Amino acid sequence: MKIAVVGATGLVGSVMLKVLEEGRYLSFDKITEIIPVASEKSVGKEIHFNNMPYKVVGMREAIARKPEIAIFSAGGSTSKEFAPEFAKVGTTVIDNSSAWRMEKNIPLIVPEINAHILKSTDKIIANPNCSTIQMVLALAPLHRAFGIRRVVVSTYQSVTGTGQKAVQQMKNERAGTSGERVYPHPIDLNLFPHGGTFESNGYTTEETKLVNETRKILGNDSIRLTATVVRVPVTGGHSESVNVEFEKEFEMESIYKLLSSSKGIIVQDEPDKSIYPMPKYAEGRDEVFVGRIRRDESQPNSINLWVVSDNLRKGAATNAIQIAAYLVDNELI
């Protein structure tokens, strides 16, 4: 089986290769060839995968090799142009951009929640936004049990979500050196409520993604959801303060039990010992960490959660590779 990684030299692409190399989800005996793909300026560069050198190739060469799976992390415009080209030669595309997520006939997948809807005829599969993935993983078991009526979420998003240049901007500011800027304001020793671009209603595209993608993944357009996205000067992962109102009454013991027994979730909730999720300790991990679990005493049937995950791993690379593994394990390619 040949796997192409499109955007292999980027921040998310490099993590995709790392997760593949670890072999936790797709074993090496199922992979015959890795095809690293990038823009023309990177063609010919050498990367190493499983201690073997591989030359970076361009898009056309990758399509000609007809990989079984192509995992994209190269931006929406690239995905719109080339994902259908891969699909035409029989490749199943797993796309990490926002290009296909809200298309009616394109599945939007978090494997622990809705991989069962995938079919062999799905040649383009969308990977959700990083903030959406970690939130819905925590929400899904609670929604099944009690029915979610409304969600209010504020995110505290790592600079890694913007890419390598954003990380470098923060490092430059911290070191007191000049360099390229990708944010409209300093990010070190600062934060700002701005993720994506502002829309006519005053919300940003990142906030709108959280609303629309959550409804699609949970399969319920009636869920009321509002979001505020904040960029913060950390690199370990994204954090979210999530307030959830349910249709049904619940006992707090049931909330703890459901979250603790859900695949992909680790509950860290011992506040008397200062144990709660933090991005510093989520970095490099594939799990979603949930803590500060408490009843909202201001309204009925409501709770507060604090949700943290490495946005480059479960929020992007790991989720995409888990989708690939599901396709292979269930003979859908």
- What lies within 8 Å, CB to CB, of 253 at 6+ separation is none
- The answer to whether residues 10 and 163 touch, using CB atoms and an 8 Å cutoff, is yes
Q: How far apart are CA 151 and CA 135, in angstroms?
A: 10
Q: How far apart are CA 89 and CA 259, in angstroms?
A: 41
User: Among the options 48, 116, 130, 185, which is catalytic?
Assistant: 130
- The answer to whether residues 59 and 82 touch, using CB atoms and an 8 Å cutoff, is yes
- The secondary structure element, H or E, covering residue 242 is strand 238-246
- The answer to whether residues 40 and 193 touch, using CB atoms and an 8 Å cutoff, is no
Q: Where are the alpha helices (DSSP H) in 176-316?
A: 205-218, 252-260, 279-282
The DSSP output letter for 1 is -
Strand pairing class (52-55; 238-246)? unpaired
DSSP letters along 159-212, please?
GGGT-HHHHHHHHHHHHT------SSS--TT--BS--S-B-TTS-BHHHHHHHH
238 is catalytic: yes
- The answer to whether residues 129 and 206 touch, using CB atoms and an 8 Å cutoff, is yes
The DSSP output letter for 128 is P
Residue 329 exposure: Cα atoms within 13 Å on the Cβ side:
12
User: Among the options 143, 185, 194, 238, which is catalytic?
Assistant: 238
Residues tagged active-site? 130, 238
